Amino acid sequence: MRALTDQEMKTVLDKLANYMSDLKSLIAPLEDGDRYVFRLNHSRVYYVKLSIANLATSISRDALLSLGTCLGKMTKTGKFRLHITALPILAQGARHKIWVKDNGAQPFLYGSNVVKAHVGRWSEDCPEHSGCVVYSMADIPLGFGVTARSTAEARRLDPTGIVCFRQADCGEYLRDEDTLFAG
């Protein structure tokens, strides 16, 4: 387990900035004097309290399975891929949001994109190809994706047209159970 290099940090924050509007809250000091840090272990990036990260130094790299919240994985080409486990953090400060109706929640959780007919409402002034967090109508975050059309364009779209390309959904907790945390 190690801290991130400046290049890695930039890549991770860049990806997070696609979905979140306020990044500063991520590293803001907590009331008890602690703060959150990013740690890398087995090419996975974890978002963890500094005190816990310091405790984890007593565990060898191989033995350490996970700590804190796994944000995603650094690929071998140096890119960063967000995992569904990062959803609670993304949902805190989501830049753009899409609420899907109840009839659209299941298809989304099974891994399909969001079509216009399933959209209950969406945030205004959303450009195309920008990250958005998908919520159910009861404001429960279901996953995240990338908008296929801008809000204005999506209004003219036919009901079967794709509005948001899925990136991750809560169904992955079951579908990718084996590979999500290790391997």
Partner 1 sequence: MAPTRTVKNKHAASKTNGAGSKSSKDGGITKSKSRSGSKANVKAPAIQVKGRPNIPGLDKNKTKKQQRVYTEKELGIPELNMVTPVGVTKPRGKKKGKVFVDDRESMATILALVQAEKEGQIESKMIRARQMEEIREARRAEAEKKEAERKAKLEETKESLRKKRKRHGHGNKHDDDEDTSLKAVTATGTKAAKPKKKRVSFAAPE
Site string for partner 1, 21-40 (x = CB under 8 A): --xx-xx-x-----x-x---
Provide CB contacts within 8 A for 107, sequence distance 6+: 118
Q: How far is the CB of 78 from partner 1 (least distance, A)?
A: 12
| HSE toward the beta carbon, residue 134, CA cutoff 13 A | 33
- DSSP designation for 101: P
For partner 1, the closer CB: 7 or 138: 7
When asked if residue 61 is in the footprint of partner 1 (CB under 8 A), the reply is no
Amino acid identity, position 7: Q
- DSSP designation for 25: G
As given in the structure block, the two tokens for residue 47 are 């978002």
Q: How far is the CB of 158 from partner 1 (least distance, A)?
A: 17
When asked if residue 55 is in the footprint of partner 1 (CB under 8 A), the reply is no
Site string for partner 1, 122-161 (x = CB under 8 A): ---x-xxxx-------------------x-x---------
Q: Read off φ and ψ for residue 168, nearest 5 degrees.
A: -155, 150
When asked if residue 13 is in the footprint of partner 1 (CB under 8 A), the reply is yes
